[in-house]
Amino acid sequence: MKAKVTGLEGIVAADTEIGYVNGAEGKLVYRGYWAKDLAIRHTFEEAAYLLWYGELPDDSALRSLREQLKAHRILQPELKRLLDAMPKGTPMMNVLMAAVASLAEEDSEWPPKAEQAIRLTAQLPAIIAYRYRKVNGLPWLEPNEDCGHADYYLQLLFGHRPAEAHVRALNAYMILAMEHGLNASTFAARVVSSTESDLYAAVCAAIGAMKGPLHGGAPSGVIKLLEDIGEKERAEPHMRGNLEKGERLMGFGHRIYKTPDPRAEALRDVTAALSGDDPWLGLARHAERTAIRLLAEYKPERKLHTNVEFYAAAVMRAVQMPPQLFTPTFTAARVVGWTAHILEQAQINRIYRPQSVYVGAMPVEG
């Protein structure tokens, strides 16, 4: 007898109040709010507070959260030494697992606390930026001024104040990357947490799952498509040529969403206001409109829509994010959702113990 559902697809494994994904209807909800609206109208800190605490913060709560994040941004000397000691070729996701594991040294009690989630969320951008600059022979610069999470991350990486258009675009992307139901990495975090292991160990498991290209793979195919197009006048002939050869247009179609991806819609709205400030975002919007028209012409039965990778690629390229940091940046955003699920798991905990179907050989009797 074979397993009835390989990969657990469609199997309900948990009740949650954190996020709701409905691919058939194109819905993505964070605790009663449309994720699209949060990305357009709110900051990273407000959305994170919502996922952790179940409500949007008032002014006092938001100030408190910002102060806590700021207090935890500074990397301790021991952590810097660990980051310095790892071989230069160590993949960034492995670096993150080692760094996160090290943070549990004096903070690994059960049950997990929201303060741990805040600490880890504050630390990840600094860990990524410190390691990136160290490997590339760049000096480490700490921003002096008070700033939001996305702004701070870009300043750490590049050593200067980013354009406001880039801050707004990355802020929207990071909100939309925070949570997406019981995906592979979130499930991994909840499984480890269900054993009453600490929050840092659960996040390490999630990072390990995110490292896999089937889950956290970078949208490099979209960037190549846009770079090959280069300018608006080349969009139609280039993509028409791809379709004539039977090739896919990267960034269109999604396994879950059979209607427009709400995350792509939100990033489209954000970049619409910014496309005049950044030529790359303007090219992406023009290419998307052209692609949708051509796909309706060549593949009318498929009903292909823009997925979040298309605009994620546009945002990453616009802010000049190095390709090797695409998945780590995704991780720096998704850690909010992971930790929200870890906290929820602790409240209703029962260890995960699914069954398997044995299909191997049996001993010969007699």
What pLDDT, in 10s, does the model give residues 130-139? 999 999 999 9
Cα–Cα distance, 7 to 1 (Å, whole number): 16
Q: What per-residue confidence (pLDDT) applies to 172?
A: 94
Residue 276 confidence class, pLDDT cut points 50, 70, 90 = low
pLDDT score, position 275? 64
Closest CA to 29 of 51, 10, 44: 51
Q: Does residue 115 have an active-site annotation?
A: no
CB 47 within 8 A of CB 148: no
What's the whole-number mean pLDDT along residues 103-111? 86
Angle between helices 326-347 and 44-53 (to 10 degrees): 30
Residue of higher predicted confidence among 199 and 274:
199
Q: Tell me the domains of the chain and their CATH numbers.
A: 16-213+323-347 (1.10.580.10), 220-318 (1.10.230.10)
Judge whether 338 and 202 are in contact, CB under 8 Å.
yes
DSSP 323: G
Higher pLDDT, 252 or 361: 361
Provide the pLDDT confidence category of residue 236 given band limits of 50, 70 and 90: very high
User: In percent, how much of the chain has pLDDT > 70?
Assistant: 95
Which helix (H) or strand (E) segment holds residue 197: the answer is none
pTM, entire model: 0.91
Q: Which is more confident, 203 or 163? A: 203
Q: How confident is the model at residue 356 (pLDDT cuts 50, 70, 90)?
A: confident
Kindly name the residue from 180, 309, 341, 344 that is annotated as catalytic: 309
Percent of the chain with pLDDT over 90: 68
**309 assigned to active site:** yes
Q: Given a cut of 60, is residue 1 above it in pLDDT? A: no
User: How high is the pLDDT of residue 303?
Assistant: 78
Catalytic position from the list 254, 288, 341, 344: 254
Q: Distance between CA atoms of 356 and 247, rounded to whole angstroms? A: 39
